[in-house]
Amino acid sequence: MVGGQSASLSDTSVALSVRGLTVTLPDGMERSHAIEDVSFDLHRGQILCVIGESGSGKSVTASTVMGLLPRAIQATAGSITLEGREIIGMGREELRDLRGRVVSMIFQDPLSALNPLMTVGAQIDEAMAAHDEGTPQSRRQRAIELLTEVGLPDPALMYHQYPFRLSGGQRQRVMIAMALALEPTILIADEPTTALDVTTQAQILELIRDIQRRKGMSVMFITHDFGVVAEIADSVVVMEKGHVVERGSAAQVLNAPEHPYTKRLIAAVPHLRQDDRERAAHTDASGAPAKPLLKVRNLVKTYRSGSAFFRTQRIVPAVQDVSFDVLPGRTLGVVGESGSGKSSLGRLLIRLMEADSGQILFRDQDIAGLTEPAFRSLRPKIQMIFQDPFASLNPRNTIGRSLTVGPIAHGVPAAKAREDAKALLDLVGLDARAYGRYPHEFSGGQRQRVGIARALMFKPELLVADEAVSALDVSIQAQILELLDRIQRETGVAMIFITHDLRVASQICDEIAVMQKGRIVEFGRPSRIFFSPEADYTRELVSAIPGEQLDDKTAAAATGGRQSTQQTLQQGTQT
Amino acid sequence: MSTTDFTVTPLPRWWQNRVVRKFFGHRLALLGLVMIALLTLACIFGPYLLPYDSLYIDLRARFAPPLTGDHYFGTDPLGRDIAARLLMAGRISLLVGFFAMLLATILGTFIGVVAGYGGRVVNAVLMRLVDGFLSFPTIFMLLALAVALQPSPIMITIIIALTGWMEVARIVEAEVRSLREREFVLAGRMLGLSQAHIMIREILPNCMGPIIVAATLTVARAILLEAYISFLGFGIQPPLPSWGNMLNGAQQYLGSAPWLAIIPGAAITIAVTSFNFIGDGLRDALDVRNDNF
C-alpha cells in the first residue's frame, strides 16, 4: 500500500521520492531481484530509517539512489526523484555533480572508506575541489570549520592527521565532515554505527541527529538495529527480501507493528532483563554450594610488538590481574568495548595464547603452565565458539569433516564420530544432510550452528563463546541464544560468554564481569550491574545502549536520559 | 519460544562453476590451453606418424628447406628431419619444464608453509634462505651448476627447479601467514589437531589457487631456462635434441638456412606464451577481487 503516491510527487516537502524501484540481479543468483517495487518518501528535515536484515536489499536501495550500483546490476524499473529531478537514466557526469552537492553518503566502515595515504584535511578538500568549490584557502578554512562542527578535538591539528592515527569514532566523524562538505540537502547513512562500540555509537547517533536538526537536512539512515531506529527515526521503512513490507512513523511502527515480519524483528531485539536467570542460585545435589569448575587468578597478558633491541618496542597490557570463578552449568558474561581485553581473555583460557603470569585452575589443575602436549588431553574439556561464522569453518572441508576431524585426531573411531556429528547436527537444528555439504552452502546463522556443534563434539565442560552472536541478524541472534540456553540446560555445560552487547549479555548470563583496559572493573549479577551499576564505566556503557525506551520497564529511566541529552544538544546549538 | 525451521537450502555450487566459467571466458587462456594440448599431443604421437626418424641421417638431403618432399619443416645440416627432431626435442623440453615445475612447486610450497606457519625464528631463517637464493643471478647460478654437474636431462631438471622454487615459497608464505590467523585455524588448534595436520590438511588446501597460478608460470620459465642453457651448450647434450640445442646448432646457418632457427624458436615462443596465458587466465579466474560481483 503506497500512501499519497501522486500527491507526493509535486509536494515540495519531499526531498527524495522513490517509486516502484526494481533492481534486477543477473541470472544464477539466489533471487531474480535485489529489490522489487520499492517505494517511499524522504520528507524534508526528517530522518527516515530503512531497516531490514542482511539480504533485505536496504544497501542496494541506498546505492541506487547514489548511482553507485556495480555495473553488473541495474535499476530496471521505477523512478527516483531527488529534489524534483529524476535521476534514473541521468548521465554519468550529471549524476556525479549531484553526488556530494545534493546527496552524500557515509559508509559502514570508516577505515576502508578513507584513503589511508591522504591526510584528513586533504580528503575533505578533495571532496570540495572535485566540484570546483572555492579557492584552496577557502576550502582549507571550510575543512577546519567542518572538523570543528563534527566535534573533533583540535581541528587545526586534525587537518594534518592521517586516518590511521584516529579512533573508529573519530574516523566516522571525519566521514561525516566529508559528507557535509558541500552542504548536501540529503544525507544517506549506510549502517554508520554498526562497526563502532556502544558508547561511540551513541555519540555518533547524537551527532547525526544534532547536525540534521541544525541544518534541516533530510537523512536516510540504513540500519538493522531497532534500537537505533528508536533513538533517531522520524519515520521507518521495513524491508524484507527486497520488498517494502511496512512503512510509517517511528512511533507507529515501533509500538503497533502490523506486518508479521516487523513484529518478529521487534520481538527479536534483545532487551535488558530485569530479573536474573532462574539457575542463579545453583547448588550441587547435596545442597552445598557447587565447587567452581574454573578459577582464574591474577591472570596477566601483555602484548609486545617491535623490538626491545632497537628500542621500538610497544607494550600493550591486554589482560591485567584478572580473577574470577565459573561454576558448573552457569554462564559468566564478559562485557566491554573493543580493546578492553575480553577476547584476549577468552583466548588465554583455551590456550590459543600463553599467559604471562597468573593461574587458570580447571578442576583445580593449573592449565596456564602446562605444555601444549600435556594440555592436549584436556583440550576436549574446554571448547570455543568463534565470532565469525564465515571465517571459523574451513571453506575446503565438508561440514562433516569439520565436525569429526577433532574427535578422530583424539582417537575416536571414525564411525562413532560420524554418528555423534549427525546427532549434534540434529541437536543444533540442522538437517542431517548438512553433513556432506560445504560451508558456503549455508547462511551465517546455520554456520554458527555448525560452529556450536563442533564445540559440542567432545561433550565439553566449559564453552567459551567469543562474540558468538555479534555477526548475526537480530532474529537469528535470538534463535542462537535460545539454542545455547537449551544446550546448557540439557548438558550442564558452563559457559563464558564474551560480548560487547550488554542487552545480549543480560539475556543469557548468570554473572557479568565488566572489563575496561584489561581489568575487571565490576562483577556481579546482571540485574545489579545493569540497574544499579557502581563503576562509572559500567554506567556509561548502560546509558549508551540504544533504544532502551522500547522496554516498558526501563522506559522512565531511558526517557529521562534522552531528555537530558536533548537539552544539552539545544544548549550546544544556541552557543 | 519461536520455532526454528532450519532446513538446508541447497545453493548451486556456483563457486566451482564460477572459476571454470571465468577461465573459459578468458580467450587468451583458452587459446593457450588449446595450444599446449595440441603441442603435447603432437610430441607424444607425432614422431610415430612422421615418415622419418629423428636420428635418421640423409646426407643427400642436407639443408632442405621446409616442404621439401615429406620433410615438412625441412632438414638440418646432417639431413635429419626437423619436424621429427622438433617433436622429439619437444618431449625433452616439455618434460624438463613440467618436472622442474613439479619439483620447484613442492619444494617452494613446503618451505613456504613451514615458514608461514612457524614461529618468528623459523620464519626468519627460511625466508632469509629464500632471499639468499634470490640474490644469486639465476643464469649465472644455472650455468655454474650445469658446468659443475653432469648435464643429463634429470640433472638439468633438478638444477632448474633449484633456481625456481623461491617465488612459490614467497607466495605460499604470505598466504599462510594471513590464513594462520583465520578462525578456522584457531579452531583446529582448539580441537587439539597437530601442527602438521593443521598445516597440510587445513591451511594448504586453501592456498591451492595461488600455488597453481605460480606453478603454471614456473613451467613457462623452466622451458625458457632449459632453452637458454642448452643454447649456450651447457644443457641437454646432442644427439639428444631439445629446443634449446636445436637453436645452438642453427646459429652458424642463420643466413643460409634461417628455418633451422625459426622453427624451434617458434616452438619455444608458442609454449612459453601459452603457459603464461594459462597462468594469467587462472589468476583472473581464481581472484575473487576481480569479480564484478
Q: What is the pLDDT of residues B37-68, one digit of tens each?
A: 999 998 888 878 877 777 777 777 777 777 77
- Cell for B30? 583458452
Dihedral sign (CA A224, A227, A233, A236): positive
Question: Which residue in chain A has the smallest CA separation from B208?
Answer: A396
pTM above 0.80, yes or no: no
The answer to the question of residue B247 being in a domain is: yes
* A376 neighbourhood in chain B, CB within 8 Å: 192
- For residue A453, name the pLDDT band (cuts at 50, 70, 90): very high
Contact A446 B8 (CB under 8 A): yes
| Peptide bond between residue B239 and the one before it cis (omega within 30 degrees of 0) | yes
Mean pLDDT value across residues A26-42: 81
* B191 neighbourhood in chain A, CB within 8 Å: 379, 383, 405-406, 409, 454
Chain A from 41 to 70: CB within 8 A of any B CB: 70
**All structural domains of chain A:** 290-392+445-544 (3.40.50.300)
As for how many domains chain B has, the answer is 1
A91-100, A250-259, A542-551, B194-203, range with the lowest pLDDT: A542-551
Contact A72 B292 (CB under 8 A): yes
CA A37 to chain centre: 29
Q: How far is B275 from chain A (nearest CA, A)?
A: 27
The answer to the question of residue B26 being in a domain is: no
User: Could you give the angle at the alpha carbon of A307 between the alpha carbons of A302 and A308, nearest 5°?
Assistant: 80
User: Does residue A2 surpass a pLDDT of 60?
Assistant: no
* B205 neighbourhood in chain A, CB within 8 Å: 394, 396
State the burial class of residue B95 (Cβ atoms within 10 Å of its Cβ: 0-12, 13-18, 19+).
middle
Contact A392 B193 (CB under 8 A): no
Is A442's Cβ below 8 Å from some Cβ in B? Answer: yes
Q: How far apart are CA B107 and CA B145, in angstroms?
A: 18
Contact B292 A380 (CB under 8 A): no
The answer to the question of residue B100 being in a domain is: yes
The torsion region of residue A84 among left (phi > 0), alpha (psi -120 to 50) and beta comes to: left
Contact A380 B192 (CB under 8 A): yes
Q: How far is B130 from chain A (nearest CA, A)?
A: 23
pLDDT at A340: 84
Q: Between B8, B292, B293, which is nearest A437 by CB?
A: B8
Q: If you ran DSSP here, which 8-state letter would residue A68 be given?
A: -
pLDDT at B258: 83
User: Does residue B256 surpass a pLDDT of 70?
Assistant: yes
State the burial class of residue A24 (Cβ atoms within 10 Å of its Cβ: 0-12, 13-18, 19+).
middle
Interface size, chain A vs chain B, as Cβ–Cβ contacts under 8 Å: 98
Q: How far apart are CA A461 and CA A329, in angstroms?
A: 8
Within chain B, strands assigned E span none
What value does the mean pLDDT of chain A take? 82
- Helix then strand then coil, % of chain A, to nearest 5: 40, 25, 35
Contact B2 A379 (CB under 8 A): no
CA Rg, chain A, in Å? 26
User: Does residue A467 surpass a pLDDT of 50?
Assistant: yes
Mean pLDDT value across residues A539-559: 61
Q: How far apart are CA B164 and CA B159, in angstroms?
A: 9
Mean pLDDT value across residues B197-213: 87
Other CB atoms within 10 Å distance of the CB of residue A115: 13
Most distant CA atoms of chain A, gap in Å: 82
pLDDT at A82: 85
Mean pLDDT value across residues A542-558: 57
pLDDT at B4: 39
pLDDT at A569: 39
Specify the pairing of strand A357-362 against strand A331-335.
unpaired
Q: How far is A458 from chain B (nearest CA, A)?
A: 9
pLDDT at B109: 94
User: Does residue B10 surpass a pLDDT of 50?
Assistant: no
The answer to the question of residue B230 being in a domain is: yes
* B190 neighbourhood in chain A, CB within 8 Å: 350, 352, 379, 383-384
Q: How far is A28 from chain B (nearest CA, A)?
A: 8
Phi, psi of B140, rounded to the nearest 5 degrees = -60, -45
User: Does residue A332 surpass a pLDDT of 90?
Assistant: yes
Chain A from 334 to 393: CB within 8 A of any B CB: 347, 350, 352, 376, 379-380, 383-384, 386-388, 391-393
pLDDT at A310: 63
Please, what is the angle between helix B208-231 and helix B138-148, to 10°? 60
DSSP characters over A116-178:
TTS-HHHHHHHHHHTTT-S-HHHHHHHHHHHHHHTT-SSHHHHTT--GGGS-HHHHHHHHHHH
pLDDT digits (tens, 9 = 90+) for A507-524: 889 999 999 888 999 998
pLDDT at B283: 81
* B12 neighbourhood in chain A, CB within 8 Å: 28
Q: How far apart are CA A480 and CA A428, in angstroms?
A: 9
Tell me the residue range of the domain where B270 lies.
Answer: 84-290
Alpha-carbon torsion, ordered B251, B256, B257, B261, to 10 deg: 30
Q: How far apart are CA A530 and CA A44, in angstroms?
A: 38
CATH number at residue B258: 1.10.3720.10
DSSP characters over B30-62:
HHHHHHHHHHHHHHHHHHHHSSS-TT---GGGT
The answer to the question of residue B140 being in a domain is: yes
pLDDT digits (tens, 9 = 90+) for A96-116: 888 878 888 888 777 778 888
State the burial class of residue B251 (Cβ atoms within 10 Å of its Cβ: 0-12, 13-18, 19+).
exposed
Contact B76, B68 (CB under 8 A): no
Q: How far apart are CA B288 and CA A252, in angstroms?
A: 43
What value does the mean pLDDT of chain B take? 82
Which positions in chain B have a beta carbon within 8 angstroms of at least one beta carbon in chain A? 1-2, 4, 6-15, 182-184, 186-194, 197, 201-202, 205-206, 292-293
User: Does residue B279 surpass a pLDDT of 60?
Assistant: yes
- For residue B34, name the pLDDT band (cuts at 50, 70, 90): very high
Q: How far apart are CA A170 and CA A173, in angstroms?
A: 5
The answer to the question of residue B34 being in a domain is: no
pLDDT at A530: 84
Contact B10 A441 (CB under 8 A): yes
Question: Which residue in chain A has the smallest CA separation from B292?
Answer: A72
Contact A478 B191 (CB under 8 A): no
pLDDT at A286: 53
Mean pLDDT value across residues A316-336: 89
pLDDT digits (tens, 9 = 90+) for B123-145: 999 999 999 988 888 888 888 88
Dihedral sign (CA B39, B44, B48, B49): negative
- Cell for A575? 552557543
Specify the pairing of strand A357-362 against strand A243-249.
unpaired
- For residue A548, name the pLDDT band (cuts at 50, 70, 90): low
Percent of chain B whose predicted confidence (pLDDT) is above 90:
18
Contact B123, B212 (CB under 8 A): no
Place of cell 552542504: A183
Buried b or exposed e, range A132-161, using 16+ CB within 10 angstroms:
ebbeeeebbebbbebbebbbbeebeebbeb
Contact A384 B8 (CB under 8 A): no
Contact A384 B197 (CB under 8 A): no
Is A404's Cβ below 8 Å from some Cβ in B? Answer: no
Q: How far is B107 from chain A (nearest CA, A)?
A: 23
Q: Count, in order, helices (H) and strands (E) of chain B.
A: 11, 0
* A26 neighbourhood in chain B, CB within 8 Å: 293
* B202 neighbourhood in chain A, CB within 8 Å: 394, 397
pLDDT at B111: 93
State the burial class of residue A110 (Cβ atoms within 10 Å of its Cβ: 0-12, 13-18, 19+).
buried
Percent of chain B whose predicted confidence (pLDDT) is above 70:
91
The answer to the question of residue B66 being in a domain is: no
Contact A371, A348 (CB under 8 A): no
Q: Which distant-in-sequence residues (6+ apart) come within 8 Å of A461 by Cβ?
A: A293, A328, A363, A381, A382, A493, A494
Q: How far is B237 from chain A (nearest CA, A)?
A: 45
A224-238, A463-477, B12-26, range with the lowest pLDDT: B12-26
User: Does residue A561 surpass a pLDDT of 90?
Assistant: no
Question: Which residue in chain A has the smallest CA separation from B5?
Answer: A429
pLDDT at A573: 40
Is A437's Cβ below 8 Å from some Cβ in B? Answer: yes
Sheet architecture: strand order including A74-82? A33-43, A14-24, A74-82, A85-86
pLDDT digits (tens, 9 = 90+) for A152-206: 888 888 888 888 878 778 888 898 888 888 888 899 998 888 777 888 888 888 8
User: Does residue A243 surpass a pLDDT of 70?
Assistant: yes
User: Does residue B13 surpass a pLDDT of 60?
Assistant: no
Q: Which distant-in-sequence residues (6+ apart) come within 8 Å of B10 by Cβ?
A: A441
Contact A33, A46 (CB under 8 A): no
Q: How far apart are CA A536 and CA A522, in angstroms?
A: 10
pLDDT at A6: 42
Interface mutation target, options B4, B198, B204, chain A, most CBs of A under 10 Å: B4
pLDDT at B115: 92
ipTM of the complex in this document? 0.73
Q: Which distant-in-sequence residues (6+ apart) come within 8 Å of A297 by Cβ?
A: A323, A358, A359, A360, A361
Q: How far is B6 from chain A (nearest CA, A)?
A: 6
Q: How far apart are CA A15 and CA A186, in angstroms?
A: 7
